[in-house]
Amino acid sequence: MNKEEGMLAISKLVFELTITSTTTADLDILLQRLFSILDSYYDLQLEARGAILLLNPRGRYFQVAQFGMDPAWTNKMRWDAPAFTRPHISAHCLLQDSLPSLELPTPAHMLLLPLHIEGKGLGYTVLFVPENYLMSETHCEFMEDLARALSSLVNRALTNEILRIRKLELEESRADVIRSLGVASEYRDNETGLHIMRMTNFAQAIAKSLGIPDAQRELLYIAAPMHDVGKIGIADAVLLKPGKLTPEEFTIMKTHTDIGVTILEGKDELIAAARDIAGCHHERWDGNGYPNGLVAEQIPLLARICAVADVFDALTSSRPYKTAWTVEDAYNWVISESGKHFDPAVVAAFDAAMPDILRIRELYRDDIIDPKQVLTLPPIRRRENAWIPWDEKLSIGIDVIDEHHRYLFDLINDLYEVVANKRGAREVARLIKSLDAYAKIHFRAEEQMMNHYAYTRIDRQLSQHHAFEEKIAEFYEELHDNPFVAQFDALAYLREWLIHHILVEDIQLVELTRK
């Protein structure tokens, strides 16, 4: 290869990848295109495999993309060449060998192409070469030019992913405002924030059982907390009355649906969904509901779903003016109202979703966890080939806490699937926020139990919970700088931390079952 051929190859590579990167930020595709071009230059003597390793803020390298080799999850390659022990990225290409190991006794010979953006080192593109590989001056210049071109392309991919995260945050900010209104209305009604979480997740389980599209389910998840927003406009004398309402008071109470519709005026798709739910979740399938006496499919689908979810949680929850129904009685009543109060299809979906609904009740409970409570939940289909499968050896002997832990495992496995299937930084950010939100619910419930039963090591638990929350917030912020690294970094931390915390700290909570 001469200099002219090298420049032509670089130009061709940049052109092809510039076109590709307008539709994807997948670094695996970048490597695939790279090797499809390099393959035609036999005198480079490169092996048909390579990887991209990027540096996290703590000086650790992560394999974030690969070609012709296993991904980070299954790759036995140990990235222990001298360059990977230093946080400083070389200014020039390097030839280095990996150290032999039991898994790979023969050292790998590597050509490391440094990746820099505006003077900041990101990591290396790793190309594998034969033993005793030597580069001519022309080849060396070509590789230096290639390193600069790849730096630019990785930067473009990073920028695209960061923009997607920013877009998600704008959407989340709007959704958070809507949720806050919903929470405010529930607190006025002696409800708790956990009622909203239960009801919203019940609705999600029913919607999933119904098979409604993901986009509509996402609307439901954001809009469902607004179902009773109109109660903000109901006088305390009526809203907070501990006893049964008089007919006149009930007439006033019913106006919360109309108030909700007024509050949620607007043409936005999300606002429209929230308005439908707020205005129609008290309508009945048989036409005997309020405020408009809508019949059957005249009632918006999301409102029909929320009607079942809201009623079931209200029946099974204690309030100052009533005792909770048993789950069995509430379930039987909902089933009996199919075709009368509720849409038969939604009731059938509710029935099918009961294993998930019963689990949600335990995950978002109002009362203090009883360490001696025995859960008899119906079995839930466990995912096959989970990245971190639940093992009964991780059980700490407190059923409710074990169920919380299983759910945290589910969320981490969801995050792994998003990263492994390259669904993008937007989905990674969304799942990290979800995991952070539920971890806080779990920690507060655990801490409430420990405080109630005078657990002697509560201060150590509090410290570790706080450190975990800070670490997740740190990963979320790092997504804005380098989402490719942050997602791998977060997964590695989550798997190690959760298993260690359960086996070392939470296992000691079993002493509460003896009190």
| 422 belongs to a structural domain | yes
In the predicted model, what is the mean pLDDT of the chain? 89
DSSP label of 56: -
Shared domain check, 337 and 208: yes
Nearest to 193 by CA among 177, 206, 203, 182: 182
Give a yes or no: residue 105 inside a domain.
Answer: yes
Mean pLDDT value across residues 100-104: 71
Flag whether 16 is in a domain. Answer: yes
Whichever domain contains 343, its CATH number is 1.10.3210.10
List pLDDT tens digits, range 199-254.
999 999 999 999 999 999 989 998 998 898 898 888 888 888 888 889 999 999 99
The answer to which of 65-79, 198-212, 337-351, 406-420 has the lowest mean pLDDT is: 65-79
Residue 14 shares a structural domain with residue 144: yes
392-412 tens-digit pLDDT: 999 999 999 999 999 999 999
Domain contains 181 = no
**Residue 70 clears pLDDT 70, i.e. is over it:** yes
Q: Is the pLDDT of residue 191 over 80?
A: no
Quick one: 213 and 331 in the same domain? yes
pLDDT for 360 beyond 80: yes
For 307, the domain range is: 193-365
The per-residue pLDDT for 483 is 93
Exposed, middle or buried, 466 (CB in 10 Å: 0-12/13-18/19+)?
A: exposed
Residues 252 and 294 in one domain: yes
Q: Which two tokens stand for residue 295?
A: 């019949």
What share of the chain has pLDDT > 90, as a percent?
A: 62
Split at pLDDT 50, 70, 90, the class of 9 is: low
Report the domain count for the chain.
3
User: Is the same domain home to 394 and 358?
Assistant: no
Instruction: Examine residue 186 and state whether it is found in any structural domain, yes or no.
Output: no
Domain assignment present for 144: yes
Cα–Cα distances in Å, from 454 out to 328, 437, 512, 515? Answer: 33, 26, 9, 10
328 and 430 share one domain: no
pLDDT in tens, 311-323: 999 999 887 677 8
Q: Are residues 220 and 346 in the same domain?
A: yes
User: Is residue 190 scored above 60 in pLDDT?
Assistant: no
User: Do 16 and 3 touch, CB atoms closer than 8 A?
Assistant: no
Same domain, 353 and 394: no
Q: How far is CA 260 from CA 232, 233, 277, in A?
A: 9, 9, 9
* CATH code of the domain covering residue 438: 1.20.120.50
Q: How many CB atoms within 10 Å of residue 408?
A: 21
- CA dist., res. 403 & res. 396, Å (int): 10
Do 331 and 479 share a domain, yes or no? no
CATH number at residue 95: 3.30.450.40
- Structure confidence at residue 21 (pLDDT): 52
User: Within this chain, do residues 266 and 387 fall inside the same structural domain, yes or no?
Assistant: no
In a domain, 266, yes or no: yes
**Cα separation, 68 vs 49, whole angstroms:** 4
pLDDT on residue 195: 86
Say if residue 218 is in the same domain as residue 331: yes
Whether 482 is covered by a domain: the verdict is yes
Q: Is 26 in the same domain as 135?
A: yes
Which among 147, 163, 179 is the end of a domain?
Answer: 163
Confidence (pLDDT) at 18: 61
